[in-house]
Amino acid sequence: MLDSSISFIPDAHLLLKWYDQNGRTLPWRAEKSAKTDPYHVWLSEIMLQQTGVKTVIDYYHKFLTKWPTIQAFAQASEEEVMKEWAGLGYYARARNLLKCAHQLIEIGGFPSTPAELRKLPGIGPYTANAIASMAFNQPYVAVDGNVERVAARIFAFLEPLPAARPALHKLSETLNHSPAAQNRPSDFMQALFDLGSLICTPRSPACLSCPWINHCQAFKNNQAAELPKRAPKAKNPTKYGAVFILENEAGEIWLQKRPPKGLLGSTMEMPGTSWELERQDEKEILSRAPIQGKWQKAEEVKHVFTHFTLFLMPYFLPSSSQKFSAERGRWANPAEAALSTLMKKAYQNFLAQKSTPQQKD
């Protein structure tokens, strides 16, 4: 591993020249060297956490169509925000967006320094640096997966992640220590992102097309495809659960709101069982149903979370549940509710099973 005090800095001018010709056109970016709206940078960066660009673009457009300014967004209800966010996952991001918007209105707009930005809900070191760099043209490096990969290869950083991540991040922050990068901080930051996304890819990097090929220590050592190194991952556990789908004559289903904190926080869900490490006996599962009846099964849902895989069995009643009521929850149109991707899968499997002719005994 190279020493963190390394004086070698790749030529930012070469990267910026490549970016001017090859940079991606993204809806939250202004024209090169133009000022970017901090609302746009903030919204897109929060959405891009744990989520790919292709998925985010549609959500970004939806949000800006509904709430074109931070002032408009700050007037939204949590239920409205969760509905528009549904399917993006990591729902704490949506709740923090709204909290952050309220604070931004109180303080009169976005602060321009990472230190002040980090005081806001949902904004950590990466997002603070990204906003300061891209919206306020300040010379900070926001280190995401793309930048980690570029730095690991440029400096031939051999220590495995995640343990060595702090050291790699320190190296990454030296990438803009040159006059050309300091003169165009916003463009340089976005050029780093694009280099990692388009050229310095996780697998089969296009090294021969890289503007930094002559600066890359990993390329010289024929190690580019191997870096960054990662420690072996522990196998994630598997969990099992069930949901009970109650539908009335209007096609509404009974939904309840998950607690604000925790997995899928503040999203709507069908009543169900807890998620266990072992598959439960069906008699035990049905004893937890909200009402007694001849429950039928739809196709089981497999859903992969970051730390575990869930198998969720949707149960439903073949007849109308119009008279059902409980202290917690309400009837709601599933198309308009803030259902998570998991609950949407369960509901779709229910619709598919419901439309399938049942064989008579």
- DSSP 3-state assignment of 128? helix
Residue with tokens 């300061």: 132
Type of residue numbered 137: N
Active site residue 269: no
Q: Which of 31, 45, 148, 336 is catalytic?
A: 45
Nearest-angstrom CA–CA distance, 356 and 354: 6
What distance in Å separates the CA atoms of residue 311 and residue 302, rounded to the nearest whole number?
Answer: 5
Task: Return the exposure string of 189-210: e unless at least 16 CB atoms fall within 10 Å of the residue's CB, then b.
Answer: bbbbbbbbbbbbeeeebebeeb
Which candidate, 92, 98, 26, places its Cα nearest to that of 58? 26
Q: How far apart are CA 220 and CA 154, in angstroms?
A: 10
**Quick count: other Cβ atoms within 10 Å of Cβ 56?**
21
Catalytic residue numbers?
Answer: 45
